A = this chain, B = another copy of it.
Amino acid sequence: MAALIALPLIGQGRINIPDLPGLVTLKADFHMHTVFSDGTVWPTVRIDEAVREGLDVISITDHLEFRPYVQSIETLSGIPLSGLSHNIAYEIAKPYANERGIILIRGSEITRAMPPGHFNAIFLTDCDALANKDDYMDAMRAARAQNAFIFWNHPSWTSQQPDTTLWFPEHTMLLQQGFLHGIEVANGSMYCPESHRWCLEKNLTMIGTSDAHAPVAPFAAGRHRTMTLVFARSRTEEAIHEALRERRTAVLFENHIIGDERNLKALFESAVEISVTKTNETTAQITLRNKSDLTFHLRRAGHDPRLTYFRNNTIVPYTIRPQSVQAITVRLNEGIRGGDVNFIVENFLVEPEKGMRYTVRIE
């Protein structure tokens, strides 16, 4: 009943990621568990962790069909608990979240064998309406009746897809009938390139989540949990829902940003201020001012050979560090006056294994 353990950490805290023009960039994690399914923490802990990491919005998404800890209390005590509402984690955490400025979104995980696997339904109004359904489509329909945003969780989870990551006919059906709005492109320490590809092809929203079950320990400097960046019109639940529907997201995973070209280009241009100056007849200088806590790894892309600039190094990429200014010297050979300086931002993935191409024009 006394003191907390002091936490001797280095550099932990919020990561600075810029807003896009007319939009705010919100840090979101839409997948995590508590003691009311198979997570090991009380719901308020998820709010404390979000505050510590500087998240804006989370959803607690306990399994509807798998509540081993509630079951364990029931078994040991003989007190019947199967009727315990699936809204309880939300109800416990909501006032605590409000006091701390965290947007908490009501959600549940619909948990089935593959196909179709696991799905999170968020922006629910009543989780219980989805529970106790033999047919997963009944749970889906109950979610959609509440106007839920539904995404497929960890398609490449080896417990369900040990060897390959397949898209099943069930997923086609869910998509066609409007029950599928997004896919987890990254879940915890897993990146799923198939999810990335499917989102691009099928116009689905890219989601990144922690899927935390244990307590989330503080991160060392420069590290962060896997999360979704939501580019919303405002910091409200409604605006977040709208942004997810409009696919204005990107995924932060390790030191990578994963998404589509439209969102990644906007994020890059908001994070890095670029200016070009001619230092003399044969030299120009491109100044990159990185106003964010993101790191950018550049690689020179195909270009007019009369322009020369930084050399590619296959092991150590050309790096723009957080909150730094860096100058690229470009030489204009053979009398040319300008040209396109092309490079790839290798850790901004616009497709699986494909970094974002960017051009700075020298005139």
Partner-B contacts on A (CB < 8 A): 1-11, 33, 35, 38-42, 44-45, 48, 63, 66, 69, 72-73, 76-77, 79-81, 83-85, 88, 91-92, 109, 111, 118, 153-154, 156-159, 162-163, 187-191, 193, 210-221, 223, 225, 253-254, 256, 308, 311, 313-316, 331, 349, 352-353
Contact = CB atoms under 8 A, between A and B. Distances in A.
B42 A314 contact: no
A5 B216 contact: yes
Task: Identify the interface centre among A44, A154, A316: most chain B CB within 10 Å of its CB.
Answer: A316
Contact of A79 (B38, B44, B84, B111): B84
A156 B311 contact: yes
A85 to B, nearest CB: 6
A79 B88 contact: no
Q: Which 5 A-B pairs have the closest CB atoms?
A: A3-B188, A215-B215, A40-B42, A163-B308, A8-B220
A72 B94 CA distance: 13
Nearest to A69: B42
A221 B352 CA distance: 32
Contacts of A210: 5
A92 B76 contact: yes
Contacts of A313: 190-191
A187 B85 contact: no
Contacts of A217: 5, 7, 9, 215, 217-218
Q: How many identical subunits does the complex contain?
A: 4
Nearest to A66: B1
A40 B41 contact: yes
A193 B38 CA distance: 43
A40 to B, nearest CB: 4
Given A3-B187, A72-B92, A83-B79, A162 B331 contact: yes
Nearest to A223: B8
A42 B36 CA distance: 10
Contacts of A315: 191, 253-254, 256, 349
A5 B188 contact: yes
Contacts of A111: 1
Contacts of A253: 315
A58 to B, nearest CB: 14
